[in-house]
Structures are given as C-alpha cells and as structure tokens.
Amino acid sequence: MGLIVNGGNAKSSSMEAIQAAKTGDFDGADAKLKEADAALSEAHNSQTSMLTKEASGDHVKVTLLMVHSQDHLMNAITFRDLAGEIVDLYRKLAKEGK
C-alpha cells in the first residue's frame, strides 16, 4: 500500500504544482514539486524493501494489487517528470511576458 499511497500523493502534489505555476505562483509550484519528490522517495523506499526481500529469497506473491501498485508508481513518476517540465514552461512564459 505504500506504493499506492505515496504514488497518489506524488501525483496529486505534481498536479498542484502545475496549478500553482499556471497562476504564477512559482514558489508554491516548487514547493509542491518537492512534496512530490518526497512522496516518490518514500514509495521508492517501499519498492526497494520489496526488491531486497525478493533478492534474498523471500519471494512475494504477485497479485493484482502488486501489479496495480507498480503501475500507480510508474504513472506518478512520469507525471512528476512532466509536471516539472510544465512548471518550467510556465516560468519561461512568465519571464518572456514581462
């Protein structure tokens, strides 16, 4: 569940970063991107723990929930990367508009 919860939090914070940048609040956008990074770090720690157990011979049963959690994390990472680019684009547009 750590992957799903933290992945969801990362995606939500990334979307909030885009919304903040859209209104010109780049400090807020940067803060939200940092929140997303922190959530992704927590998710990565959960994933690493599972991978370490698997590598040491403690095999985890692959369930639909496990597949869903990995998919959720992958989408959150992709969304975070894209959000960073969109924030940068809004920042560039704001500078050019002045």
68 assigned to active site: yes
Measured CA to CA, the distance from residue 12 to residue 7 in angstroms comes to 9
Which one of the listed residues 44, 59, 68, 72 is annotated catalytic?
68
Which SS3 state, helix, strand or coil, does residue 98 take? coil
For the annotated catalytic residues, the residue numbers are 68
